[in-house]
Each structure stands twice: as C-alpha cells, then as structure tokens.
Amino acid sequence: MIRALGSEFQKVFTTRTWWLLTLLLVVYVAFLAGGLGAFFGWALDNPDAAADSSSATGLPTEGLAPLVYSFASSVGYVFPVLLGALAVTTEFRHKTLTPTFLAEPHRTTVLSAKFLSQLLLGAGLGVAAFATSVGAGAGALAGFGIDTALDSSDTWAMIGRGVLAMALWGTIGVGLGSLVPNQVAAIVIVIAFTQFVEPILRLAASFNDVTAKIGQFLPGAASDALVGASFYSVASAGGSATMLEWWQGGLVLLGIGVVTTLIGGATTWRRDVS
Amino acid sequence: MNSGIPIEITGLSKHFGSVTAVEDLSFTVQPGRVTGFLGPNGAGKTTTLRVLLGLVKASSGTATFGGTPYHALKRPLETVGAALDASFHPGRTARNHLRVTATAAGIAASRVPVVLEQVGLTEFADRRVGGYSLGMRQRLALAFTLLGDPSVFVLDEPINGLDPEGIKWIRLFLQRLAQDGRTVLVSSHLLSEVQQSVDDVVIISRGRLAKTGTLSSLELESAPRTIADSPDRPRLAAALAQAGLEYTEGRNGFIVAEPDPGLVGHAAFVGGVELKSLHRLKSGLEESFLALVNGEVDHVEIAEPGPPEASGAPEASAAPDEAADAAAPTDAAAPTDAAEPAPPDDRESPPADGAKE
C-alpha cells in the first residue's frame, strides 16, 4: 500500500497537470478573493454608489473576512475534483492501466492509493487556495481598513475546515473518475455540475422547505456547511438557506467520495484491460 | 536466480459477449528457449497474453507461471517482465515512467538507469515519451520488462515498428535471455519476423491451437519440392512421368514432388532432355505457417512464396497424398478441388490467384 501510494504521488508529480491546475486555482482564487475583498471595501467606503449596484447592500463588516477567505473552497473546490478525476481517467485514456496493474495486480490497492493520495493532494490544493485567498483577501480588506479577522481562532478553524473540504473533494474526483472513465466526459461532468447544475439546483431547492432539506445534501451545499461561510449561503435567500452542521457536511462529502469510489471500483475498475 | 518458470496455459477460453476470442487453448512454454506465439491478427494472441497477465479475466481455464496465476505472484515484476502495447503517458519522461513503476513494484530506483542503458535509451531518458518514435517506445517497453530482472518474459509484438538495426538488436537480446535460462514468449503475426529468433513455436488461429512444437518441426511439415524447367516442356513431362515422379506445371517450370533435385536431374538426363533450371522450391516455414493459420481458407492460393518460381498451386495436384496432407492437416481436401480438376487452366493464372488473396 505504501508503494502504491508512493507511485500515485509520483504519477501526479511527473506530469504537468498538477501545477497547471494549482496555478489556475491560485490565479482564480486570488482574483476573486482579492477582487471581492476590494469591492466590499470600496462598497463600505462608498455606500451611496454601492447602493446602486444593489448586491452589496447591508453587508456587515464583521464576517466579511471569512466570507472572502472561503472563496478558496467555495469556488476552488472544482480543482481537487478535476485533479482526482484526471488521476483515474488518465490511466484509461493513455492505457497506463496495463503497466499499473502489472506492477500492482491488486486493483483495490491501486484505487485505494488513488483515493488516499488525492485526499492528501486535495488538502495540498486547499492549503494553496486558502493561502491565496487569505493573502489576497486580507490584503484587500486591510487596504480599506476592514478587520481581517486573522487574530480570530474562528477564522483559522474555518480555514482548517476549508482545507478538509478540499481534501474530500479530491476523493470525490477519484470516485467520479472511476465511475466515468472517459476523460472528456468526466471533465464535462465536473464543470457542468459544479458550475451550472448544482448552483441552479440549490437555488431551486431553496424555494421550498421540503426540497431545501434535500438540497442541503447536494455536495456543494454540504461543502459550504462544512466550511461554514460561503458566498452562496449569504447570497441565497438572505442567508436563510437550510444548512447542515459542519460535521454533517463533512460526512456527506466523505460519503459521496467513498460511495462513488466503491461503485466505480466494483464496476469499471474491475473490467478487462485491453 | 532464474530458476526457470514455465508458462502453462490450460483449457483457456475467453468470450467477449458472443464473440469467442480464445477457445480451449492449452500449451506450455519452456524456460531456456525463445518461443514464438504466432497467428494472424485477431487470432487471440493478445487476449491470451492479457489473460496470462491478469489484465483480462478468462471465461474458463487457467494461465499460470509454474502454477501461480499472475495476481498471486509475490513479486510480479521480479518474476515476469511483460511488454504489451507500449502505451505510456505522453507527458511523462521515460525515466519517470520507470520510476513510477519501480516504486509501485518495490524495485530499487537504482535499476532505472541500468535498464535504460540496457535498451539504449539513456540519451533520451528525460524526454517526454510523447515525442518518441514507435521504435523508442518499444525499447522503453523492454526496459519496463527488465526492471525486476525477471525470469519470464512475455512480449507482445516487440519487433513491430523497429528498424532493421533494432530488429537485429532484439534478436540478440531475446537469445541472450533464453541462454540465461529464462522463459521467453514473443508474439508476432509474421513468422518471418521472428523465425531467426525463436526455438519453439505456438501457432494459433481463430482462438484455437493450430500447432505447437519446435521451429524445425514446422519446417518438416511442408514437403520440399523441386522446380525443373526445360526449353522442351513436353519432353520433360514425359521424362518425369517415365521416372514415376509426380509433378505439376507452374509458370516457371514443373513443380516436382521430389525433395532431391539430383533425382529430378537424373530423370531428365535419362530422358535426354535439356534443363534450363533445376532447384529446390524455396518455401518451408512461411508456407506451412500460412497453411496452418489459414487451414479453413483455400490456402493453396495463399501459399505463394515470394520467388517467382512458385506458381499459384504448387502442392495440390502434384502430391495430394503427402504435401497437402502435411501442410494442411485440418483440411486436406480443400486444395485439391481448387487445383486438381483443371491444372492446365490453373497454371495460366498464378498472379491472379495471388492477387485474389
């Protein structure tokens, strides 16, 4: 298992995908956290002008910093999913399952190693993302004299939960990749689901109490519950959205990752490699 | 350390849905020899090898290394070195490919430069495999097999894509492995590609075993014949008939069912006929190989070796009793109905016969 794990890390770090994704993640998060931090700062400084642009009205300055920092996971979670999915689908696409299974004929060991390595790599991406969001966000907020909340243990707890969320998203990527071995299809599903389908579902679900209860189990909602601060939870229906407890959210994410990986491991992963 | 592990295939069958890829295949590959695993494309070679390596599940039967299936080997890469389709991640360098594998198999990373050197890739080791030629990929695939210094080698079409220098190199490479007492199984769809390297052959056709034995036993299966031609063919024909020799007329003379050209020359001498050519028909291996793998088809037309002296239907009418029987044990009757009833017509059109195939 240790060998398989080592090999999985080597696989990731010997191609360019990982740093391309990391780079994109950092740039994306820096842009949003820094940009939004600056926008809020400007809006608070200029309440009249901001009132016209409607979205930032009535935002309290307290709680603003965690919200800005949480962009790392609330928009960045797609990156560990992609990295995890690619770790699996690449093997199918480039037919490297043959050498992989020749070196380690026990397929469960290989998939478990992928699951664990992506959990750790997801955490790594989480650290990079939160370092970026805190760096850019705190910089922007401090520039407008807003409390950066970096002296608060709550903030750091939130960041820790955010890193955990990113790690769990990595395992969901592994599960997705093993369910959908076609690389293009997997990427399309990741992008479409995280960027369009789920936000729409969450919004639609929030209009009704029954659907809202179901909607809280959507992975993105669970992730936000785990992190505890999110742009969506604030933006949707004035923060009244039904949310799970943070640990429930974590369990939902873990459950999705484990179940999809198990199903994938019992189906496509078992198939003949030719 | 190479204790000599045989490969044992027993009653192996593999069905993909309704398609039968391999049917009740049994053979053994001995250590210390290079065994050619031969058959046309689609005969089931790759499927058999993938089952052997635990990548494809058998529908029934077993494929083991001295009784142990691949997945149950304690140190798989240190027991078996396998090169299948030479597929690698294009964005990874050769060195890193081998490192990833060495880590997964628990092989010391220090083996990586050693095997790169062995296959002559050291110079290109840090280049991404995406830029490799097919020949370089084949070499990398061989480096992969060497990582664990195993005692069994399973190579699927390793010669495919190699340049003449590479082919020469791999021949020596294979022979050296066998000399060390290792088991070497090499698949190919072309006998000519491996006939200089292999000691034994296992020939399959349409998923079934067609023949297994030494390479020379394959040679014996095609009865040798003699080509004789004369400016005066009718008189030569008479002289051959006089000597009691069976023959058929080809484009470049008579194909006589007699392995010794001396006897044919003697018959001509006795009959007082001038000869303008007299030699053994070059055929042998490839011919009997094709006869074996095409047993169901009209193999008479296929069995046309390159040289022009071999006409369209050499063995059929000449010696239905021995040549056809020996060359096509599965279907001795097929050639005769094509050629025997009308040999004069048949001999006029060997190119057409060849082209038809």
pLDDT of A5 strictly over 70: yes
> Is the pLDDT at A119 greater than 90, yes or no?
yes
> Which residue of A lies nearest to B58 if distances are taken between CA atoms?
A272
| CB-based contact A171:A119 (threshold 8 Å) | yes
Give the separation between CA A259 and CA A265, rounded to whole angstroms.
Answer: 10
Q: Give me the residues of A, 69-98, that contact B with CB < 8 A.
A: 90, 94-98
Cβ-Cβ contacts under 8 Å, A104 against chain B: 76, 104-105
- In this predicted model, what pLDDT tens digit does every residue of A186-244 receive, in sequence order? 999 999 998 889 888 888 887 888 888 888 888 888 888 888 865 555 554 444 456 78
Domain count, chain A: 1
| Same domain as B231, residue B181 | no
Q: What is the pLDDT of residue B254?
A: 85
Report the CATH number that the domain containing residue B168 is assigned in CATH. Answer: 3.40.50.300
What is the pLDDT, as a whole number, of residue B339? 37
A118 inside domain: yes
Cβ-defined contact of B97 to A100 (cutoff 8 Å): no
Same domain for B252 and B129, yes or no, is no
Which residues of A fall within a CB distance of 8 Å from B70? 105
The answer to whether B73 contacts A105, with C-beta atoms less than 8 Å apart, is yes
In a domain, B66, yes or no: yes
Give residue A22's pLDDT: 94
Residues 6+ apart with CB under 8 A from A157: none
Domain that holds residue B93: 7-214
B54 in reach of chain A (CB within 8 A): yes
Rounded CA gap, B38 and B204, in Å? 6
Q: Hey, how many other C-beta atoms are within 10 angstroms of the C-beta on B162?
A: 19
Per-residue tokens: B18: 């309704």
* Residue that is last in its domain, among B184, B214, B244: B214
- Determine, yes or no, domain membership for B94: yes
Are residues B76 and B150 both part of a single domain?
yes
**What's the confidence (pLDDT) of residue B232?**
87
**Residue B295 has what pLDDT?**
59
Tell me the chain B residues in contact with residue A183 when contact means C-beta distances shorter than 8 Å.
Answer: none
Q: Is B108 on the interface with A (CB under 8 A)?
A: no
Interatomic CA distance for residues A157 and B6, integer angstroms = 60
Shortest Cα–Cα distance, B326 to chain A (Å): 36
Number of separate domains in chain B? 2
Do A95 and B85 make contact, defined as CB atoms within 8 angstroms?
A: yes
* Claim to verify: residue B262 and residue B291 sit in the same structural domain: yes
Average pLDDT of chain A? 86
Share of chain A above pLDDT 70, in %: 89
Interchain contact, B106 vs A3, CB within 8 Å: yes
Mutation target for B interface from A102, A107, A110, A273: give the one with most B CBs within 10 A: A102
Q: Are both B182 and B229 inside the same structural domain?
A: no
Which among B285, B280, B82, B120 has a CA at the least distance from the CA of B193? Answer: B285
Specify if A64 maps to a domain.
Answer: no
Question: Is the CB of B104 less than 8 angstroms away from the CB of A106?
Answer: no
Q: What is the pLDDT of residue B75?
A: 93
Q: Which amino acid is at B344?
A: P
pLDDT at B351: 40
pLDDT value at residue A43: 78
Q: What is the percent of chain A where pLDDT is above 90?
A: 52
B56 → closest Cβ in A11, A95, A274: A274
Position A227 in a domain: yes
Residue A49 lies in a domain: no
**A95 contacts in chain B (CB < 8 Å):** 85, 87
Write down the pLDDT at residue B128: 94
- What does the pLDDT look like over A33-83, one tens digit per residue? 888 888 877 877 776 665 555 444 455 566 688 888 888 888 899 999 999
**Full domain range(s) for residue A164:** 2-33+69-135+153-270
CB pairs under 8 A between A and B: 84
- Is A15 in the B-facing interface, judged by CB distances under 8 Å? yes
At residue A66, the pLDDT reads: 84
CB contact under 8 A, B103 and A10: yes
Q: Which residues contact B132 (CB under 8 A, 6 or more apart)?
A: B88, B94, B124, B140
Same domain assignment for residues B96 and B233: no
Q: Compare all CA atoms of chain B with the CA of A2 and give the residue at the minimum distance.
A: B104
A108 at B interface, C-beta within 8 A: no
Task: Kindly state whether residue B1 falls inside one of the protein's structural domains.
Answer: no
The reply to whether residue B104 touches residue A7, judged by beta carbons under 8 angstroms, is yes
From the DSSP assignment, how many helices (H) and strands (E) are in chain B? 16, 13
End position of a domain, from candidates B173, B192, B214: B214
- How confident is the model over B105-148, as pLDDT tens digits? 999 999 999 999 999 899 999 999 999 988 889 999 999 999 99
Q: Which residues pair with B82 in a beta bridge?
A: B154
Q: Do A98 and B87 touch (CB under 8 A)?
A: yes
The verdict on B72 and B122 lying in the same domain is yes
Whether residues B188 and B245 share a domain: the answer is no
Complex confidence, ipTM: 0.85
Q: B87–A100: do the CB atoms touch at under 8 Å?
A: no
Residues of chain B positioned with their CB less than 8 A from the CB of A106: 71
pLDDT in tens, chain B (357 residues): 446 899 999 999 999 988 889 999 999 999 999 999 998 888 899 999 999 999 999 999 999 999 999 999 999 999 999 999 878 999 999 999 999 999 999 999 999 999 999 998 999 999 999 999 888 899 999 999 999 999 999 999 988 878 888 888 888 999 999 999 999 999 998 888 888 889 999 999 888 998 888 887 776 666 677 888 888 888 888 888 888 888 888 777 888 888 788 888 898 898 888 898 888 776 566 667 777 776 543 333 333 333 443 343 333 333 333 333 333 334 333 333 333 333 344 333 334 333 333
> Among A97, A105, A274, whose Cβ lies nearest the Cβ of B76?
A105
Domain end call among B194, B214, B234: B214
Q: What angle do CA B348, B352, B357 make, to 5 degrees?
A: 135
DSSP structure class, residue A84: H
pLDDT beyond 90 at A180: yes
Residues B184 and B283 placed together within one structural domain of the fold: no
CA distance A133 to chain B (A): 31
Shared-domain flag, residues B37 and B158: yes
Mutate to test the interface with A, among B89, B96, B129, B140 (most CBs of A within 10 A): B89
B-chain residues near A109 (CB < 8 A): none
Instruction: Name which of B77, B80, B87 is nearest A94 (Cβ-Cβ).
Output: B87
Q: List, edge to edge, every strand of the sheet that includes B19-29.
A: B19-29, B7-16, B60-65
Within-domain flag for A162: yes
Q: Give residues with Cβ within 8 angstroms of B138, minimum separation 6.
A: B83, B86, B158, B159, B160, B161, B162, B166
CA–CA separation, B25 vs B10, rounded Å?
6
Global pTM reads 0.79
Supply the pLDDT for residue A245. 84
Residue of A nearest to B93 (CA): A14
Distance to chain B for A31, nearest Cα, Å:
29
Residue B159: CB partners within 8 Å, gap ≥ 6?
Answer: B138, B166, B167, B170, B186, B188, B193, B194
Determine, yes or no, domain membership for A148: no
**Chain-chain contact of B55 with A101 (C-beta, under 8 angstroms):** yes
Q: Which chain B residue's Cα is nearest to A91?
A: B89
Same domain? B72 vs B210: yes
Whether the CB of A23 is below 8 Å from some CB of chain B: the reply is: no
Does the CB of A213 have a partner CB in chain B at under 8 Å? no
A143 part of a folded domain: no
Nearest to B50 among A100, A106, A274 (CB): A274
| B199 shares its domain with B259 | no
Residue A187 lies in a domain: yes
Given CB atoms, is B76 within the 8 Å cutoff of chain A?
Answer: yes
DSSP letter string over A192-243?
Answer: HIIIIIHHHHHHHHTTSHHHHHHHTTSHHHHHHHHH---HHHHHGGGGT---
